[in-house]
């Protein structure tokens, strides 16, 4: 299928808040697919802004929309800034929503879009802590509105290939090479790489390993990493961020295409 033309700005497809209401109305003539990303405003060490996950969520959403458009499919996307960040609450500036509020917010935002005619939804996670609440929201949206919903978290996929793109993948974790690289793509002016250092965790974040099916809730982030970061942010570079964005966007677009845009697909 040939590419569709969609509203664009300098960096790529427009996100919802960059579109006019007329542009969304026009999009609704051609699609009923909406992507709702959720992100986080939370500490990312001394060198990255609190909005790191929000900027990453916005850019990921933008690129998924672009890849879909190149394949002839249109989607409208919005990246909600907040999510589940209570593990970081003792770091100044971090904001969090409770699970109950977060689930309600996702359902109400999807409800607005459903009211306007969107009928198929992608919940795209932009923060590792958001998944549990997003699964609950996705299930309830599906049951209550009768709409197909896809939940996507690129993080496990990204971990599967990170040794191919990172210089030090072994302990790349919060605020380190991977995230620094991504912020350098879109917001280099907000990255203070001169303040970054290599940090190993003080302790094992998951000291108990009983295998799948067991999770022990214990400790706080500052006990594990007082500086907020684990990994080597000094190695971050925009070229690495670019690779991760492209792979994650292709991965997400593949799944959305198979579920929503394949001929004869029940969800499509
Ligand atoms: Zn992050």
Instruction: Write out pLDDT tens, residues 67-80.
Output: 999 999 999 999 99
Write down the pTM of the prediction: 0.95
For the cut 60, the answer to whether the pLDDT of residue 266 exceeds it is: no
Q: How distant, in Å, are the alpha carbons of 42, 95, 200 from that of 92?
A: 9, 9, 22
From ligand 1's centre to the CA of 79, what distance in Å?
Answer: 14
Residue 267 falls inside a structural domain: no
In this prediction, residue 268 carries a pLDDT of: 44
Average pLDDT over residues 44-51: 97
Q: How far is the CA of 52 from the centre of ligand 1 (A)?
A: 6
Q: How far is the CA of 150 from the centre of ligand 1 (A)?
A: 22
Task: Say if residue 5's pLDDT is above 80.
Answer: yes
Q: What is the CATH number of the domain that holds 220?
A: 3.40.50.10310
In a domain? residue 268: no
Higher-confidence position of 196 and 190: 190
On average, the pLDDT of the chain sits at 94
Residue 128 located in a structural domain: yes
With 70 as the cut, is the pLDDT of residue 144 above it?
yes
Distance 227 CA to ligand 1 centre (A): 14
Listed residue (36, 62, 17, 263) closest to 149, CA to CA:
36
Residue 122 lies in a domain: yes
How far apart, in Å, are the Cα atoms of 80 and each of 56, 165, 225?
Answer: 11, 28, 27
What pLDDT, in 10s, does the model give residues 165-183? 999 998 899 999 999 999 9
197 with 236: CB under 8 angstroms?
A: no
Structural domain including 255 reads 8-20+30-261
**Coil, strand, or helix at residue 35?**
strand
Cα distances from 226 to residues 40, 46, 64, 207, 216, in angstroms, run 19, 11, 34, 17, 21
- Which pLDDT tens digit goes with each residue over 91-141? 999 999 999 999 999 999 999 999 999 999 999 999 999 999 999 999 999
pLDDT at 121: 98
| b/e sequence 10-42, b meaning 16+ C-beta within 10 Å | eebbbbbeebeeeebeebbeebbbbbbbbbbbb
Residue 266 lies in a domain: no
Specify the number of domains making up the chain: 1
Distance 91 CA to ligand 1 centre (A): 14
Per-residue pLDDT band at 197 (split at 50, 70, 90): confident
Q: Is residue 125 part of a domain?
A: yes
| 15 is a domain residue | yes
- Residue 209, domain member (yes or no): yes
> Ligand 1: distance of its center to the CA of 65 in Å?
21
Taking the centre of ligand 1 as the mean of its atom positions, its distance from the CA of residue 84, in whole angstroms, is 11
pLDDT at 199: 83
C-alpha 43 – ligand 1 centre gap (Å): 8
Residue 23 Cα to ligand 1 midpoint, Å, equals 31
């Amino acid at each position: 299928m040939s590419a569709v033309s969609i509203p664009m700005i300098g960096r790529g497809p427009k996100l919802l808040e960059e579109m006019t209401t007329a542009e969304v109305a026009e999009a609704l003539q051609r699609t009923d697919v909406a992507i709702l990303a959720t992100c986080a405003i939370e500490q990312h060490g001394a060198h990255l802004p609190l909005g790191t996950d929000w900027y990453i969520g916005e850019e990921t959403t933008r690129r998924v929309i672009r890849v879909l458009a190149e394949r002839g499919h249109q989607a409208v996307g919005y990246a909600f800034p907040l999510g589940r960040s209570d593990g970081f609450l003792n770091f100044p500036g971090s904001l969090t929503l409770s699970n109950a509020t977060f689930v309600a917010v996702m359902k109400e935002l999807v409800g607005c879009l459903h009211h306007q005619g969107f009928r198929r939804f992608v919940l795209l996670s932009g923060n590792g802590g958001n998944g549990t609440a997003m699964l609950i929201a996705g299930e309830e949206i599906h049951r209550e509105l009768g709409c197909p919903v896809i939940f996507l978290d690129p993080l496990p996929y990204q971990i599967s290939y990170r040794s191919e793109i990172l210089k030090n993948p072994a302990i790349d974790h919060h605020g380190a090479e991977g995230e620094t690289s991504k912020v350098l793509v879109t917001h280099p002016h907000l990255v203070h790489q001169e303040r970054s250092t290599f940090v190993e965790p003080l302790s094992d974040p998951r000291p108990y390993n009983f295998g799948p099916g067991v999770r022990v809730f214990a400790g706080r982030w500052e006990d594990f990493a007082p500086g907020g970061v684990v990994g080597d942010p000094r190695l971050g570079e925009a070229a690495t961020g670019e690779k991760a964005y492209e792979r994650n966007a292709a991965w997400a677009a593949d799944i959305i295409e198979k579920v929503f845009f394949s001929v004869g697909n029940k969800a499509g």
